[in-house]
Amino acid sequence: VIRVPVPLADRSYDVLVGHEILEMLPGLLPEAASRVAVITQAALHGIALDTGRAEHRVLIGEGEAEKSLATVERVCRTMVSAGFTRRDVVIGLGGGLVTDVAGFVAAVYHRGIPVVHVPTTLLAMVDAAIGGKTGVNLPEGKNLVGAYWQPSAVLCDTALLDTLPARERASGNGEMAKYHFLTGEDLLALPLDERIARCVAIKAEVVASDEREGGRRALLNYGHTLGHALEIAGRFDLRHGEAVAIGLVYAAEVAHQMERIDAGRVQEHRDVVRAYGLPVDLPPGVDHGELLALMARDKKAIDGITFVLDGPDGVQLVTGVERRVLEGALARMEATRMGT
C-alpha cells in the first residue's frame, strides 16, 4: 500500500493506494462513528464494504443532472430518518459524481460531519476525491454550489478499476497526462498503482500550497480552458479527459504562438497525449468563433482570457492572453489535423 499524505494542518489526511485494500476501510473511519451512510450508485451496489458499523446505503442516480441540490436534500432527509448524528460518517463510493455529492452532503449535514472517499473511477482516484472541492450543479451551470470540505481519508483500491469501461478510463488518463506536464515526469514509466499515487501526490502538493484557489491551484486546470469549451459546445461526444487531452495540445500551441515554448515541446505534448491513448486533434467541424466565445466565458477568466501555459519556467497562470493568439493556435490545430 502506498500512503500519500495531504498536508493541510488540522485537516491533513492520507490517501491510500493499492490493490485489494478495501479491508483497510474500518481503520480509516472515526472511532466514535456508529453509523455509516454509504452514498453510491446502483451500478456499484455490488461492491461490499466491511465498515464494522451499521451501514445505510443511499443510492443516487447517473448523470450530471443527478448532481443537484434535490439529490442533496433527498440524501440528507434519508440520513435524518436513519438517525444520523454529527458523530457518524459518510462514505462516498463511486466516481467523481458520487464523491462530489457525498462530500457536499458531509459538509452541510448538521453543519459538517466526516467523510471518507472510496473512489471507483480513475478520474476520481487521481482528481475528484482529492483536495476537498465538493458541490453540485444548478440548471445554470456545473459546480455552481459547493463547499471546501476535506475528507478524513481516501482509499483508492485499484482492483475496483477492473470493471471500468474504456471511455471512463480514457477520462482519467486525460488528467494523468495533465499531471505529466505539470511536473515533467514520465508517469507512464510507472506501474499503475504507483502512477496513481504519484498523480495524487502532485495534486496534494498543489492543494496544500493553495487550498482555496487563490492562485496556484488554478494550475490544475492545465488543458481545461479549451477542454471545457469543447465539452460545453457539446456535439462532439467527448469524455472530460478526452476534451482535456485536446486542450493540452491546444495550450501547447497557444504557448508556442506566444514564443514561450518551441515546436519540439508542442510535438512532445502531442506524443505524450497519444501515449495515454487520447485524441490530439480538434473534432472535425468545430466552429472556432464558438470555441473562442466559450473560452472567454470560462469561469477561470478573471482578467482577459486567463490561460495555464507551459513556458521556460514550467507551467504557469498567464493573464490577458490575446484573442489573436487563441485564433492562431486554433488555426494551427486545424492545419495539423488536415496534415498540412
Ligand X SMILES: NC(=O)c1ccc[n+]([C@@H]2O[C@H](COP(=O)([O-])OP(=O)(O)OC[C@H]3O[C@@H](n4cnc5c(N)ncnc54)[C@H](O)[C@@H]3O)[C@@H](O)[C@H]2O)c1
Asked if 178 is an active-site residue, the reply is no
- Strand pairing report for 89-94 and 115-119: parallel
3-state secondary structure of 336: helix
Sequence letter at residue 93: L
221 is catalytic: yes
* Dihedrals phi, psi of 95, to nearest 5 degrees: -80, -170
Spatial distance between the Cα atoms of 326 and 291, rounded to a whole number of angstroms = 10
Confirm whether 169 is a catalytic residue.
Answer: no
Angle, CA 261 vertex, CA 281 and CA 199 arms, to 5°: 70
Q: Which residue in the list 31, 111, 140, 259 is annotated as catalytic?
A: 111
Based on CB atoms, which residue is closest to ligand X, 41 or 85? 41
- The yes or no reply on residue 168 touching ligand X (CB under 6 A) is yes
Which C-beta is closer to ligand X: that of 41 or that of 183?
41
Strand partners, 256: none
Nearer to ligand X, 163 or 209 (CB): 163
Tell me the C-alpha to C-alpha distance, in Å, between residue 91 and each of 88, 94, 196, 254: 10, 10, 21, 41
> By C-beta, is 158 or 306 nearer to ligand X?
158
- Binding residues for ligand X restricted to 61-90, rule: CB under 6 A: 62, 64, 67
Of 94-102, 149-157, 180-188, 289-297, the window that binds ligand X (rule: CB under 6 A) is 94-102
Binding range to ligand X, per CB under 6 A, among 7-15, 128-136, 179-187, 280-288? 128-136
In angstroms, the Cα distances linking 33 to 53, 58, 84, 261 are 8, 17, 10, 53
Spatial separation of the C-alpha atoms in residues 290 and 106, rounded to whole Å: 38
State the first-to-last Cα distance of the chain, in angstroms, to the nearest integer: 48
Helix-strand-coil split of the chain, %, nearest 5: 50, 20, 30
> At its nearest, how many Å lie between ligand X and the CB of residue 98?
6
| 223 makes contact with ligand X (CB under 6 A) | no
To ligand X, the closest distance from the beta carbon of 124 in angstroms equals 4
- Closest contact distance (angstroms) between CB of 131 and ligand X is 5
- Check binding of 121 to ligand X (CB under 6 A): yes
**Residue 67 falls in the annotated catalytic set:** no
Asked if 246 touches ligand X (CB under 6 A), the answer is no
Burial of 208 (0-12, 13-18, 19+ CB in 10 A): middle
Interaction mask 130-149, ligand X, x per CB under 6 A: -x-x---------x------
Tell me whether residue 97 is exposed, middle or buried, using C-beta atoms within 10 angstroms of its C-beta: 0 to 12, 13 to 18, 19 or more.
Answer: buried
| Catalytic residue flag (residue 228) | yes
To the query of whether residue 111 is one of the catalytic residues in this protein, the response is: yes
Q: Which of residues 148-167 bind ligand X (CB under 6 A)?
A: 160, 163-164
Burial of 295 (0-12, 13-18, 19+ CB in 10 A): buried
Q: Which of 4, 90, 98, 308 binds ligand X (CB under 6 A)?
A: 98
**Interface with ligand X, residue 15, by CB under 6 A:** no
Q: Per CB under 6 A, does 126 bind ligand X?
A: no
The reply on whether position 94 binds ligand X by CB under 6 A is: yes
Contact 18, 1 (CB under 8 A): yes
Q: Catalytic amino acids?
A: 111, 133, 175, 203, 213, 217, 221, 224, 228, 240
Enumerate binding residues for ligand X (CB under 6 A).
Answer: 41, 43-44, 62, 64, 67, 94-98, 100, 120-121, 123-124, 127-128, 131, 133, 143, 160, 163-164, 168, 171, 240
